[in-house]
């Protein structure tokens, strides 16, 4: 007639799956902006990426004799979406397929699936593609309305170029990856995620705070001559700081840890952007810091109640 269950007997209605779908919902405006700016080719990339992530995960689960319903947890779809947002809009169709393989199999399932991966799966996919097919991964497309529609470089690649106004950068009126260009659309999603308490602001704030301060100090010709706003708006910083660095599985547990993690990401990003061989460093920075998470966790435990000095 009735069952016996352990306490607590009531649970909050926020489940892991719901969190995944909330994040996807928050990413929707950026996707719409990407499709609007670069045309239907971006939609094709998004679709192929998401579908192949799900298929690769299904294949792997079948191969490992696991319950195929695990694929419904939404994490594969989210990884596919984030991977697509990190790709240029006009890549050949097999690029997202291979990227999805790297994300899901190499990045996630080989470690034991959701919750066990060390590195952010979508970034593993992106970096895999970046190293293997650098030409495809750096062939950018101008917005639909631009006169020369083919291959232009991103704002970050044009060394010190000021050909883009802040408003162009903010609205995404330039070449770049599908999901990272329109800051406005991303910020709508960010507000939604912070309002629904899905992400905390500790990692993103310390991340782009560090980037902006360091860009201001070292980004220009002399010291304190840099342009922090440009470094904030150009490239994948907003997408990376709010949607990739905040990935629960691959970021530290405590608030202090999250702040340290964000500062580390910021340091590495600016180091790569200003001194490294690549124009953009957000994804490498986050991946490097992912590897540091177990150590950060070890040294940033919470302070428990009742840890008071004896004798008063």
Partner 1 sequence: MNFIHPPEFKESTRHKKIETAPLPGRAILPLSQHAGAPSEPVVRVGDAVKTGSLIAQAKGFISSNLHSSISGKVVACEVFTHPIIGRFRAIAVESDGQDTRAFPDSHRIASDIGSKEIIDIIKEAGIVGLGGAAFPTHVKLSPPSGKRIGTLIINGAECEPFLSCDHRLMLEKPKEIISGIHLIAKVLDVREVLIGVEENKLDAMEALGSALFRLKASLDFAPLVALGTSRDRQGLKIKIIKLKTRYPQGGEKQLIKTLLKKEVPSGGLPMDVGCVVDNVQTVFAVYEAVYFGKPLYERVVTVSGSFLKNPKNLKVRIGTPIKNLLEFCGLDTKRDIYDIIMGGPMTGVSQYDLDAPVIKGTSGILVLDPRFENDEENDCIRCSRCIEACPAGLMPCMIGLGTKNNRFDIAGLYHPLDCIECGACAYVCPSRIPLVQYIKLAKMKLKKK
- The residues that touch partner 1, with contacts defined as CB under 8 A, are 1-12, 14-16, 18-19, 73, 113-116, 248-249, 251, 253-254, 301-308, 310, 312
For residues 123 and 129, which CB has a smaller minimum distance to partner 1 in the complex?
123
Q: How far is the CB of 121 from partner 1 (least distance, A)?
A: 13
Closest approach, Cβ 13 to partner 1, in A, equals 10
- Are the beta carbons of 190 and 26 closer than 8 angstroms? yes
**CA gap 211, 92 in Å, rounded:** 33
- Residue closer to partner 1, measured from CB, 132 or 302: 302
CA 120 to chain centre: 8
Compute the least distance from the CB of residue 100 to partner 1, in Å: 20
Q: Smaller CB distance to partner 1: residue 18 or 62?
A: 18
CB 160, min distance to partner 1, A = 40
| CA-based R_g, the chain, Å | 20
Is 159 buried (19+), middle (13-18) or exposed (0-12) by CB count in 10 A? exposed
In order of 164, 224, 287, 296, the CA distances from 218 in angstroms are: 21, 6, 23, 27
Pick between residue 19 and residue 183 the one whose CB is nearest to partner 1: 19
CA distances from 9 to 3, 4, 13, 14, 206 (A): 11, 10, 12, 15, 38
Question: How near is the Cβ of 17 to partner 1 at its closest, in Å?
Answer: 8
Nearest distance from C-beta of residue 70 to partner 1, angstroms: 9
CB of 72 within 8 A of CB of 106?
Answer: no
Instruction: Tell me whether residue 140 or residue 261 sits nearer to partner 1 (CB atom).
Output: 261
Backbone conformation region of residue 140, classed left if phi is above 0, alpha if psi is from -120 to 50, else beta: beta
Q: Tell me how crowded residue 205 is: count the other CB atoms within 10 A of its CB.
A: 15
The first and second tokens of residue 71, run together, are 């694929």
Of the pair 3, 162, the CB lying nearest partner 1 is at: 3
């Amino acid at each position: 007639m009735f069952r016996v269950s352990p306490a607590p007997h009531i649970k909050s209605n926020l489940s892991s799956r719901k969190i995944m779908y909330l994040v996807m919902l928050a990413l929707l405006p950026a996707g719409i902006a990407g499709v609007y700016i670069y045309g239907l080719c971006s939609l094709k990339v998004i679709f192929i990426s998401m579908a192949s992530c799900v298929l690769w995960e299904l294949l792997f689960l079948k191969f490992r004799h696991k319950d195929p319903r695990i694929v419904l947890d939404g994490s594969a779809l989210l990884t596919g979406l984030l991977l697509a947002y990190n790709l240029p809009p006009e890549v050949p169709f097999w690029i997202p397929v291979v990227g999805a393989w790297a994300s899901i199999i190499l990045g996630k399932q080989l470690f034991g699936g959701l919750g066990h991966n060390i590195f952010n799966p979508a970034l593993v996919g992106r970096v895999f593609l970046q190293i293997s097919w650098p030409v495809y991964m750096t062939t950018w497309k101008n917005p639909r309305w631009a006169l020369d529609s083919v291959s232009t470089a991103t704002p970050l690649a044009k060394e010190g170029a000021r050909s883009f106004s802040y408003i162009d950068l903010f609205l995404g009126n330039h070449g770049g990856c599908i999901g990272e260009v329109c800051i406005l659309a991303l910020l709508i999603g960010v507000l939604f995620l912070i309002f629904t308490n899905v992400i905390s602001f500790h990692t993103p704030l310390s991340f782009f705070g560090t980037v902006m301060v360091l860009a201001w100090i070292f980004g220009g010709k002399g010291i304190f001559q840099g342009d922090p706003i440009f470094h904030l708006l150009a490239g994948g910083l907003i997408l990376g700081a709010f949607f990739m660095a905040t990935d629960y599985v691959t970021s530290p547990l405590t608030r202090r840890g999250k702040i340290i993690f964000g500062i580390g990401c910021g340091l590495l990003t600016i180091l790569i952007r200003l001194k490294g061989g690549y124009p953009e460093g957000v994804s490498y920075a986050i991946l490097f810091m992912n590897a540091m998470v177990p150590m950060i966790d070890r040294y940033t435990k919470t302070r428990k109640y009742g840890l008071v000095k004896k004798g008063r």
